[in-house]
Amino acid sequence: MITDRPEMGFLGAPIETHLERVDARFAILGVRYGWPYPDPGTTAGCADAPAAIRRRSARLGRFAGHWDFDADASMTLPSLIDAGDVPGTADDGRGNGDRIEGAVRTLLDRGAVPICLGGDDSVPIPILRAYQGRGPIVVLQVDAHLDFRDEVAGVREGYSSPMRRASEMDHVARIVQVGLRGVGSARPDDVRDARAAGNLLVTAAELRERGVPWLLEQLPSDASVFVSFDCDGLDPSVLPAVSALAPGGLGYREAWDLLAGVRNRVVGAVFTELVPGRDRDEISALVVVRLIGSLLREA
């Protein structure tokens, strides 16, 4: 499969858009388009996120080898390839999904860990489907919202449904949902269904009270982890450029420690719902770059 070539590689990484040739431990993959609703609203702006994240990463790439105080270690880049963007259009949900699943499956076949740049929060669905036959995996979702609707406006694979669809996948052993707060698309029946499916629901307030070490203890120590990170899981004071602002979210350090705590067993990740058109001074894109960096370390 051939992906669209970006203007620059993430953190200055080499670009390889022929996925069958990828030879690296990590592969950055842009996923601009998922399955849209008839009225996508501000989430339409999420399609610009992969380019914005790469652009902001370019400044940090110059500091390879410098000391990173967040990690208490030198900022060394691992074996990393930028695999470009999955081809897609805003009105082709089924086609987008097929191409995303195929691209991620190819990267997995090449032995790479896909780190995907969304896109709205419908893109985790085809990404996770690519792991069929590679489970069991635990999905760690960071999000203000439950995302457990069965359908919205007749669409069953939109951005309000990724965790519902994930719960139906045989290779997903469990879903841990962190950062929940406020009001969104979830109704009482959706919350009941998520708990009945065995999902662990952790509000942002509960995480703040119990701490990240407690949350990490809820994940089986030998579990392979896939991270689904919706940017609105963070507090707007940390990352304001999202499609659905919700006060009271995770802080930067909580998010860093959570991702760093699972990085040695991460088999993939996706970062979604960044809206560059709302990003003053590119601070939100910078936060995403830094959090991805918390995963891009050699085991």
How sure is the predictor about 64, in pLDDT bands with cuts at 50, 70 and 90? confident
Three-point CA angle 89, 91, 96, nearest 5°: 55
Look up the pTM and report it. 0.97
pLDDT value of residue 40: 87
pLDDT score of 221 more than 70: yes
Tell whether the model's pLDDT for residue 99 goes beyond 90: yes
pLDDT at 78 over 90: no
Strands 172-180 and 200-203: parallel
Q: What is the mean pLDDT of residues 43-72?
A: 94
- Using a 10 angstrom Cβ sphere, with 0-12 exposed, 13-18 middle and 19 or more buried, the burial of residue 54 is buried
Q: Is the pLDDT of residue 299 over 60?
A: no
pLDDT at 158: 97
The percentage of residues in the chain with a pLDDT greater than 70, rounded to a whole number, is 99
pLDDT beyond 90 at 298:
no
Ordered by start, the domain boundaries in the chain are: 10-295
| CATH placement of domain 10-295 | 3.40.800.10
Q: What value, to the nearest 5°, has the Cα angle with vertex 108 and ends 103 and 111?
A: 135
- pLDDT at residue 42, as a whole number: 85
In this predicted structure, what is the pLDDT of residue 276? 98
How high is the pLDDT of residue 76? 85
Q: Rounded distance, CA 70 to CA 54, Å?
A: 20
